[in-house]
Amino acid sequence: MLRTVISALWMLSAVLLIVSVLLHSPKGDGMGGLAASGGSMFSSARSAEQTLNRISWTLLALFVGLAVVLSAGWVG
């Protein structure tokens, strides 16, 4: 039962980590910069980016921690 709950939390943290990484604003123009004219159209506030960074790092720590617990067999 406990292993099932931890596995579900691990999968949820994986999905939320993917979403949080995809929500980050791009650091460079990349291929979109070739076709775009002028400055970047979308820019996020600095505080929103910092909050998103904290969320991403927290989810990463949770994901790795749960992966270690599950792979080590510490739960029955």
Task: Report CA-CA distances (Å) from 14 to 20, 22, 67.
Answer: 10, 12, 10
What pLDDT shows up at residue 42? 45
Average pLDDT over every residue of 16-27: 90
- Compute the distance between CA of residue 8 and CA of residue 65 in angstroms, rounded to an integer: 14
Query: pTM for the full model?
Result: 0.74
The pLDDT tens digits of the residues spanning 24-52 come to: 878 765 555 545 555 454 455 688 889 99
